[in-house]
Structure 1
Amino acid sequence: MNRAQIQQNLQAILKNMPADWLNLTTHRLDIYEESLAKTQFLEHFKNLVESGKVNLEGLKQLPTAYDYIRLGHPLSSVLEWAIAELNNLPFDQVISFSSKTAPILAVLRKNLFLHKKTQIVYSEDISDFFGAELIREVYGYEFELLKASSNESLPDYEGSRIFVSSANSFDQPKLSFSIDFAVSIHGDLGSVIQVIGAKNASYISEIQHVRRRETIAMTPANCFTALEYLAGNSSSPESPSRDPKTKDSVLESIANITGTDSKPLVASSGLSIQYAIMMGLVHDAMEKHPGKEIKFIVPPNCYGGTNDQARRVAACLDQVEIVDLPVDAGNNMNQSLERILGELAQKDAIPYIIAEIPTNPRVEVPDLQRLKQVLSASRQTENGETAIEPVFILDQTFCPNVQFLPEGETLSVIPAISYASGSKFPSGGECTAGYCVANLKAENLMDKIALHLALCDNEATAQQYEILARQLPSMNQRIQDAYVNTRDFVNFIQDQLPSAKINFVSEELAERGFTPSVFSLDLPTKGDTEEEREAYKRALNLKLINKMITEIPDESKFCVSYGQLKGCYWTVPATSTQGTTKEGDKDYIVRASVSHNIDLERHKEVFKDFAEKL
């Protein structure tokens, strides 16, 4: 396909694309096959293009591309297809990023494990976004830097050679030397990496996984801008810069909601901010406690992205290790923490705790007074010295309205950082941006976190700030209204199906401000053996979900999100949010999330019919 044909097709796609391609942040699991993901989308898409029938209905029928916006989405897939076509590359060898730095870090990470050298060749100065010294010292990546023009003659390199350019072009650079990866920087839009040659195809999944866990794909809005340029509809691919007033409005809203005084940080996603927190704390520990072991204490069944990212960080650094924190399904967070903190104190290790309150997916809240005591207790090392104080990193995405950090509250007794995924309540599902805040004891850590947020180029985009500025002021009211609907629905389910076990907060916890709009449902089962009972329950989970999304298609979705602006989302955590969690720690139960705007009576009616037919 030549450039003119590509432009013609892109013009038709941009004119006819579904509105959800720009506005949707979460996939529908009923039309999503993770093992096929982008491949399946693009195969159907290419058939559509070749048939000459690029219209709204045809584009609507395409299977879901990737998951969320972190790993990819329809517009990033179309952008990558177009760039691949222009450069005669297989479509999976082009990968877009919202971050300028992340694609380079992805290759460096892969080569760390391969014990392979990397040379980064650049034609224009990259020091404004590539912090070479920090990347070597904190991330443990090794590489050579070489400035060279495109027409210089360089000898072949024994290792991976990355060429970085800032030209306003999506064409593969014309060079007088061989390369393995071409990274093109596109200002505030992000970047694109082209994997050159079949010999480097093994890097593709690793590069995509960095995009999934430590950053995000180029956002739909920015992909749209890039596609407009490629289609010939605009003269340059430029994204609007961040408006300082909009950003200040977002920071003020976050500070008010969390009751904190330190300046919040806003990232391109919840996992982007978590990565900045982890690397910032690792950096701080290296400076303040050189040579000491760093332990991240993480629940083994928490959100799969948290679990996976924490273990990915530990895999790269010899002094970092993950310690499992059992918190759910009969395990007590406080007892587990007390035991682990005591053991780590003896070893004089640095303890960093990552935990969700309420827990996911069983929506449990520990005894907060006891948690306060456990965290504030003074501990001794084996040599009788005072142990290093823990830092608590709280994922409060389920209840971002609860103030944990102000003086006198649960987490005020030790250094603590709270963060939330913006794709949930903060944006109402309209963008992925996440944020974090610190209490007074952790305020000194925020500079390091900000440093690594900038190093990875993971700050929220201009559009993400605009969405948060619009949605954050109404967040707490939406949380309250959604909780009222959820409590109503939970009570109804208990009446209709008393044999089911429902995991939800108590009325007492709700009065104290814990008002999530998500609950999990352990449906009744039957069978002569444990295997039969488990198989029956798993089939029943899907039967319920399929009934809800089929009979209420405008509101009920098979999706992993919550905090949405309309309807009800259903999922099975073991097959979605816990995708990378160890099999024995997965939860094969139904998780439902209810919004503030829902036809609750219709949902009750359909659930009642389901219960009566059991």
Structure 2
Amino acid sequence: MEVDKMLNCITKVIEHMPQDWLNLTTHRLDIYNEELAKVQFLYQFIDLAKEGNSDVAALSNLPTAYDYIRLGHPLSCVLEWVIGNLNGLPAEQVISFQSKTAPVLAILRKNHLEHRNTLITYVNELPGSFDLNVLKTVYGFSFELKKIDDPVNVDSFDGSTIFIAQQDEISKSNLASNIDFYVHMYDHLGSVLMVNGDENKKFISDIQHFRRRETVAMTPANCLSALQSLVQGTSVENKNHHFAEHKEKVHQLIREICGTTTNPLVASSGLSIQYAIMMGLVDYALENYKDKAIKIVVPPNCYGGTNDQARRVAACSDAIEIVDLLVDGDNDMVQSIDTVLGQIAKEDAIPYIIAEIPTNPRVEVPDLQKLRAVLSAKRKTASGGEALDPVFILDQTFCPNVHFLGDDDILSSVRTISFASGSKFPSGGKCTAGYCIANIKGEDLMNKIALHLDLCDNEATDLQLEILAQQMPSMNQRINDAYANTREFVQFIAETLPAAKINFVSDELAEEGFTPSVFSLDLPTKGNTPEEREAYKRKMNDRLIHLMITEIPNESKYCVSYGQLKGCYWTIPATSTQGTTKEDDKDYIARVSLSPNMDLERHKEVFIKFVESI
């Protein structure tokens, strides 16, 4: 498309775009084809652009783009298409990041795994957080570094050549054939990566996966600022006027909600903070226990992001091994932890345990007294020495209001780091920012985590912090109200379809403070063989979900969302949150999450309709 026509089109799109593009983590969940999620939005948007159609209705009817903001969203797709057009590149060869350093890390990671050389060239200076020693010693990345005046003058290199430039405006670049990757960093916006040359297209999928698992795409607000800068021909504006104020307020709210006094960290997403935790603990281990193996203990059927990211971290180092922790169904978390820690102790290795409480998708809570005992137990190595105590990394996304960390709380004697995904209850689905905080016993670990959060440039943006500051004061009340809806719906299903197996917290656990608003549903099945019974159950899952989202399109959505401000969300974990989990560990059951604001009676009516149909 001609540049002038394109810029005129984008000007109108900015004026008419749906507010959901800017204000929600996912647009139009009711128009979502998972197999086409990476292309469907942009293909249809380009058709509108060619027609010169920027009507509000037409833009509103475009389908979901990617998934959440981690991998992409409408405005990031538009921005990448525009920059691609300016530079003669297909949109898929342009990838935006909220982080300035993440695109470089993504390329370094792929080249590290494939034993390919990397040359990083730059003008002026590198970002202050770009710690070269840590990248080599902790991440295991190898690269050469060269300061240059002009990328055109860079000699050919046996490997990948990256050019980094600090920019203050979005504009056309003169792409040189000897540069494989252009990384343009924008002080207040993030970065844009351009993949140059057909031979480098093989990197795209891995770079996008890095964006999905270790960071996020450039946020909607910052993409909008970039597009405005482009069409207006102005420098990028710094809108972070109240960062310190919002940050301090959010930190105080996190301390109050978690019942501890230590200093938290807030990242651009739940997986961004988890990546900082992982790499911070690896760094801590390498510095303090140089000759010991690192064991990351993680449930094989936990949601895909945690499972996949842990394995990605381990893949980059021979010193790190993944150990499966069986926690759901017939497996008891406490017993499994005891078994695993006993084996790790014999090997004189370093145990880092990641676990969700309640578990996902079975919504189970272990005996907390026994959990504390097994985590605190003294163990011996094979040679009779004292084994290292574990670090317990607790995913509290389902119940962020439960106190585990205070001086009188259940895990006060265990080195514990709690984290939560901010796209759930903390923000009500308005942003992706996530946070972590340690108890007193684990406080000394936080400096390393902070270092890696900074190195990856994954700290939450000012707007994300502002949203959390607005939403978190009402979080506990929203949790209570959503739980009340969920308990009522669960009881209704149990009475209406008693043959169904419902996984939800007991009344006793709810009295202890575990009040999630998510449950899983094993529908009754039939068949002569296990295969037939499983196939029938999956068919019923799909029928129920389709009926709900069809009959109640304004409220029921097909998504893994949790803690949203309104509506009801349905999914099958094995095909969404467990998308990267090993097939044998997948759990093909329906998962349902309710909000504090929904038409519960209407949902009951539709469920009765489903029961009558089977």
* TM-score grouping bracket, smaller chain normalisation: over 0.9
Structure 1 residues 183, 151: CA separation in 2 closer, same or farther (over 3 Å shift)?
A: closer
Partner of 1:609: 609
| 2:377 maps to 1:377 | yes
Alpha-carbon shift at residue 23 of structure 1 (Å): 1.4
Distance (Å, rounded) in 2 between the aligned partners of 1:176 and 1:498: 67
Q: 1:154-193 residue pairs with structure 2 within 5 A?
A: 154-171=154-171, 173-174=173-174, 178-193=178-193
| 2:328 maps to 1:341 | no
Distance (Å, rounded) in 2 between the aligned partners of 1:333 and 1:417: 18
Distance (Å, rounded) in 2 between the aligned partners of 1:224 and 1:585: 41
- C-alpha contact (below 8 Å) 2:175/2:196 kept by paired residues: no
Q: What amino acid sits opposite 1:452 in the alignment?
A: H
Q: 1:340-419 residue pairs with structure 2 within 5 A?
A: 340-419=340-419
Partner of 1:317: 317
Alpha-carbon shift at residue 151 of structure 1 (Å): 6.5
Alpha-carbon shift at residue 56 of structure 1 (Å): 1.6
Distance (Å, rounded) in 2 between the aligned partners of 1:469 and 1:111: 40
Partner of 2:9: 9
Q: 1:455-466 residue pairs with structure 2 within 5 A?
A: 455-466=455-466
Please give the per-residue CA displacement for 1:262-281, whole angstroms capped at 9, x wherever unaligned: 10100000000000000000
Q: 1:30-179 residue pairs with structure 2 within 5 A?
A: 31-150=31-150, 153-171=153-171, 173-174=173-174, 178-179=178-179
Q: Secondary structure at the match of 1:427?
A: coil
Question: Runs in 1 of length 4+ with deviation above 4 angstroms?
Answer: 27-30
Alpha-carbon shift at residue 579 of structure 1 (Å): 0.8
Partner of 1:537: 537
Q: Secondary structure at the match of 1:337?
A: helix
Distance (Å, rounded) in 2 between the aligned partners of 1:114 and 1:217: 25
Distance (Å, rounded) in 1 between the aligned partners of 2:352 and 2:502: 31
Alpha-carbon shift at residue 516 of structure 1 (Å): 0.2
| 2:560 maps to 1:554 | no
Distance (Å, rounded) in 2 between the aligned partners of 1:454 and 1:436: 14
- C-alpha contact (below 8 Å) 1:28/1:559 kept by paired residues: no
Structure 1, 164-173 or 309-318: larger mean CA deviation: 164-173
Structure 1, 387-396 or 523-532: larger mean CA deviation: 523-532
Structure 1 residues 4, 175: CA separation in 2 closer, same or farther (over 3 Å shift)?
A: closer
Distance (Å, rounded) in 1 between the aligned partners of 2:79 and 2:30: 25
Q: Secondary structure at the match of 1:463?
A: helix
Distance (Å, rounded) in 2 between the aligned partners of 1:324 and 1:102: 28
Q: What amino acid sits opposite 2:131 in the alignment?
A: G
Q: What amino acid sits opposite 1:347 in the alignment?
A: E
Partner of 1:477: 477
Alpha-carbon shift at residue 152 of structure 1 (Å): 6.5
Structure 1, 40-49 or 25-34: larger mean CA deviation: 25-34
- C-alpha contact (below 8 Å) 2:169/2:230 kept by paired residues: no
Alpha-carbon shift at residue 597 of structure 1 (Å): 1.1
Distance (Å, rounded) in 1 between the aligned partners of 2:430 and 2:607: 28
Q: Which runs of 5+ in 1 are unaligned?
A: none
- C-alpha contact (below 8 Å) 2:555/2:567 kept by paired residues: yes
| 2:268 maps to 1:272 | no
Alpha-carbon shift at residue 125 of structure 1 (Å): 0.6
Q: Secondary structure at the match of 1:564?
A: coil
Alpha-carbon shift at residue 529 of structure 1 (Å): 2.0
Distance (Å, rounded) in 1 between the aligned partners of 2:289 and 2:394: 23
Alpha-carbon shift at residue 172 of structure 1 (Å): 5.3
- C-alpha contact (below 8 Å) 2:181/2:195 kept by paired residues: yes
Q: Secondary structure at the match of 1:67?
A: coil
Structure 1 residues 295, 28: CA separation in 2 closer, same or farther (over 3 Å shift)?
A: farther
Q: Secondary structure at the match of 1:145?
A: strand
Q: What amino acid sits opposite 2:510 in the alignment?
A: A
Please give the per-residue CA displacement for 1:235-261, whole angstroms capped at 9, x wherever unaligned: 535442552111111000000000111
Distance (Å, rounded) in 2 between the aligned partners of 1:302 and 1:193: 31
Q: What amino acid sits opposite 2:128 in the alignment?
A: D
Alpha-carbon shift at residue 26 of structure 1 (Å): 3.1
Q: Secondary structure at the match of 2:119?
A: strand
- C-alpha contact (below 8 Å) 1:27/1:67 kept by paired residues: no
Please give the per-residue CA displacement for 1:525-577, whole angstroms capped at 9, x wherever unaligned: 11222222211111111111111111111111111111010111111111111
Q: Secondary structure at the match of 1:156?
A: coil
- C-alpha contact (below 8 Å) 2:170/2:229 kept by paired residues: no
Structure 1, 237-246 or 473-482: larger mean CA deviation: 237-246
Distance (Å, rounded) in 1 between the aligned partners of 2:504 and 2:484: 13
Structure 1 residues 274, 255: CA separation in 2 closer, same or farther (over 3 Å shift)?
A: same
Structure 1, 55-64 or 139-148: larger mean CA deviation: 55-64
Alpha-carbon shift at residue 134 of structure 1 (Å): 0.9
Q: 1:558-597 residue pairs with structure 2 within 5 A?
A: 558-597=558-597
Q: Secondary structure at the match of 1:231?
A: helix
Alpha-carbon shift at residue 30 of structure 1 (Å): 5.2
Alpha-carbon shift at residue 129 of structure 1 (Å): 3.0
Partner of 2:439: 439
Alpha-carbon shift at residue 46 of structure 1 (Å): 1.2
TM-score (norm 1): 0.98
How large is the Cα RMSD of the aligned pairs?
1.4
- C-alpha contact (below 8 Å) 1:395/1:419 kept by paired residues: yes
Please give the per-residue CA displacement for 1:89-142, whole angstroms capped at 9, x wherever unaligned: 011000000000000000000100111110110002114131111111110000
Structure 1 residues 520, 151: CA separation in 2 closer, same or farther (over 3 Å shift)?
A: closer
Distance (Å, rounded) in 2 between the aligned partners of 1:40 and 1:237: 31
Q: Secondary structure at the match of 2:174?
A: coil
Alpha-carbon shift at residue 307 of structure 1 (Å): 0.1
Structure 1 residues 243, 127: CA separation in 2 closer, same or farther (over 3 Å shift)?
A: closer
Structure 1, 143-152 or 261-270: larger mean CA deviation: 143-152
Structure 1 residues 411, 46: CA separation in 2 closer, same or farther (over 3 Å shift)?
A: same
| 2:427 maps to 1:424 | no
- C-alpha contact (below 8 Å) 2:177/2:196 kept by paired residues: no
Q: Secondary structure at the match of 2:240?
A: coil
- C-alpha contact (below 8 Å) 1:299/1:325 kept by paired residues: yes
Please give the per-residue CA displacement for 1:305-338, whole angstroms capped at 9, x wherever unaligned: 0000000000001100100000001101111110
Partner of 1:448: 448
Alpha-carbon shift at residue 230 of structure 1 (Å): 1.6
Q: Which runs of 5+ in 2 are unaligned?
A: none
Alpha-carbon shift at residue 406 of structure 1 (Å): 1.2
Alpha-carbon shift at residue 373 of structure 1 (Å): 0.9
Q: What amino acid sits opposite 1:70 in the alignment?
A: R
Alpha-carbon shift at residue 612 of structure 1 (Å): 2.2
Distance (Å, rounded) in 1 between the aligned partners of 2:27 and 2:371: 36
Distance (Å, rounded) in 2 between the aligned partners of 1:155 and 1:590: 56
